[in-house]
Amino acid sequence: MTDEPTVTSAHRQRSVGTWVAVGVGVVVIVFGAIFASRFGLDPDLVASPLIGEPAPAGAMPYMESAGELSLNDLAGDIVVINFWASWCPGCRLEHEALLLAADAYRESAVTFVGILHQDRVGPGIEFLDEFGRGDAYRYVSDEGSRAGIDFGVLGLPTTFFLNRSGTIVGQVNGPVNLDILAGAINTILVGGDIDPLTETGELENR
């Protein structure tokens, strides 16, 4: 006669725990899929809820001159808004591309706005002294991070594209390059639709 294996209490508990963990995992996956399906989104890739909405119009002080800038002042222009900081490595990587694009499209009524976010003006000016300024660029400071909050910025660098009606039509999380900038701007110039969200790298936070 063959002895049947003995099932201990500890073994039963481990088995129950395993099935509970599997069950929880299945529930999480199912609810994640339902959420993504319902909203048409990849839960790991979510664009700003402001896409398709008018850009916030709060006034921001210029970094190196008197006065303030409101995005309403740029009505009729295509606007590229770049949130950056002197401590942000990705901001250094993308800076030259932003300057080149700003210069290339200056005659097409495309305005670039650099918003210094979560940083002091002094280090921001030192950054511009080292890496250069764009003649067709507006540099402003995000006092109290109000603009970043209004735009839903989660980290740096983050870039937004506005069409001529002042509507936010696209967002890039991570450093931009000249191909991304030119592709988006050219598409907006001819009235086309750009990708609402592009991710090029991890966002930095201080």
Q: Per-residue pLDDT tens for 55-72? A: 999 999 999 999 999 999
CA-wise closest residue to 131 among 92, 164, 104: 92
**Tokens 């660029």 identify what position?**
137
Which one is predicted more confidently, 88 or 1? 88
Q: What is the dihedral of CA 10, 11, 16, 19, to 10 degrees?
A: 140
Write out the E strands in the chain: 60-61, 68-69, 78-84, 110-116, 137-141, 158-162, 168-173, 197-199
CATH level 2 (architecture), domain 60-199: 3-Layer(aba) Sandwich (3.40)
Q: Are 199 and 174 in contact (CB under 8 A)?
A: yes
Residue 61: asked if its preceding bond is cis (omega within 30°), the reply is: no
CA distances from 3 to 6, 95 (A): 9, 75
The answer to whether the pTM exceeds 0.75 is: yes
Residues 82-110: tens digit of each pLDDT: 999 999 999 999 999 999 999 999 999 99
Alpha-carbon distance of 101 to 79, in angstroms, equals 12
CA-wise closest residue to 102 among 73, 132, 72, 126: 132
Residues 114-138: tens digit of each pLDDT: 999 999 999 999 999 999 999 889 9
